[in-house]
A and B are shown apart, each in its own frame.
Chain A
Amino acid sequence: QVQLVESGGGVVQPGGSLRLSCAASGFTFSSYGMHWVRQAPGKGLEWVAISWFDGSDKYYADSVKGRFIVSRDNSKNMLYLEMNSLTAEDTAVYYCARWDFDHWGQGTLVTVSS
């Protein structure tokens, strides 16, 4: 069965960096685009970024453009989100989701605080 497992969350200081990972299994990872979506405490869902199935194209939300980088390693069935210049507004649970949002991970919490 399809499984997505995020990791890498934690507490980071403002201005710091963090890399999230999403381990995929149960499907042909290299055939699917993959998203990152986040939910800040008490807020709604916010789409963050997408990597095309082969990594050839990537789109970002304006709120993270220039600071976050999405990448993938199809040989390892892994999706990544490198987050730089973090601010308190980036505090959220981060989910990875498959192309059509039919499968989601359990999420990993990122807290930006001094």
Chain B
Amino acid sequence: SQQGEEDPQALSIQEGENATMNCSYKTSINNLQWYRQNSGRGLVHLILIRSNEREKHSGRLRVTLDTSKKSSSLLITASRAADTASYFCATNNAGNMLTFGGGTRLMVKP
């Protein structure tokens, strides 16, 4: 079952621009997490936001969570070519499992 759905599926921007990715989910959650995956590699955890939080920052990353709309967004500011990757949201809604969305493929052109 796919709890989170990212939008857009693909995004192409110029270096220095901001990139925004959205995630929608269906059921109530304990927390929502964002991961990054470079091509052919494992996933790397970026940020976790709990259900009682509305916004979190980590470096150039800003995550928001709107539990009333069951949605989250990931903003990468001042993007770099090295930010080119796939980005996944994952929800923890019960127990010790995460449910991942299909991802947004971000390309940052130099």
Asked if A and B bind, the verdict is: no
Q: Which residues of B contact A (CB under 8 A)?
A: none
